[in-house]
Structure 1
Amino acid sequence: MNLSDYLLAQDGHDWPSLLSDWAEVLPGDFIVWIVNRLGDLVVVLPDGSVHWLDVGNGSLKRVADNREHFVSAIDEGDNANEWLAIPLVDACVASGMALGAGQCYGFKVPPMLGGAYEVSNLEPTSLAVHYGLLGQIHRQTKDLPDGTQIKFVLSP
């Protein structure tokens, strides 16, 4: 397995701007370390701890005490499949879904709104649209009880 097959290049992106809609979830100071092809981030905080931002579900979870711990933890259990979305990325590639520069596999219906983690619910999406849309949805729905029905009104 080649790890780079599951990661996005980070160079040339204005991460503070791209992640501005995630300011309520992410701490004020962090380093973007790894970005998987679904746009999920592995970030390092000033204390060295490593956290995984699952943008589909809008959650930030501490996954390791430091980078070295992360490198060993990724090989444990199902961590690599979860943090790097390996089976889903493989399925997207097998279906012929290719990413262009500045894109990730974005959700048609976000998981935080009941969308599934499956190929039919993914499409190549600009990183700016992906992070902006999911961040805004998370901010507007994070305090709603599970099962709350949401009505969307689309303007022309």
Structure 2
Amino acid sequence: MWVLTVAHCVVNDPKLAWDKEIVLKMGAMNPQTRHADKIIPHHGYRAQNKLDDIALVRLNNSFDLTTEVGIVELDRINVDHYDVIVTVATSGSTEEESLNCMNSELSILNLPLMSAADCRKIYSSMVYNHHFLNNKVNCVGFYGDSSCNGDAADETRPV
């Protein structure tokens, strides 16, 4: 079984000496734990700019599929479309002022996909605005609702 995640959480981290140190836990009532067997970051990923910030993690054993643990089917969407609703899973803080806090529970949000022009306009004043000046990044959300404070999923990337 493979898991899709953001690369910056599983590669280029000096605290992670080996792939097997990455542990994935699924399920709230009956948690299941699996270890990473292999990690494959996107071939274009660079820690310096966070572009192509996705990775595949192969688990040592598959999770048992239950009512709490399932498989998410990834839709293929045309990145030129906007104002469509996309589903985002996030572990970022749900508190507006908690930028450094992570939520222990996964939240599911349905948010609109923004146009590239709106994304650039919103993020143009931010330090990392160069991340948004390409066609590989899609922004989701609207004022007051986003996928995170403290989660890497603020921007979504087509796969």
TM-score (norm 2): 0.25
Greater C-alpha Rg = 2
TM-score (norm 1): 0.26
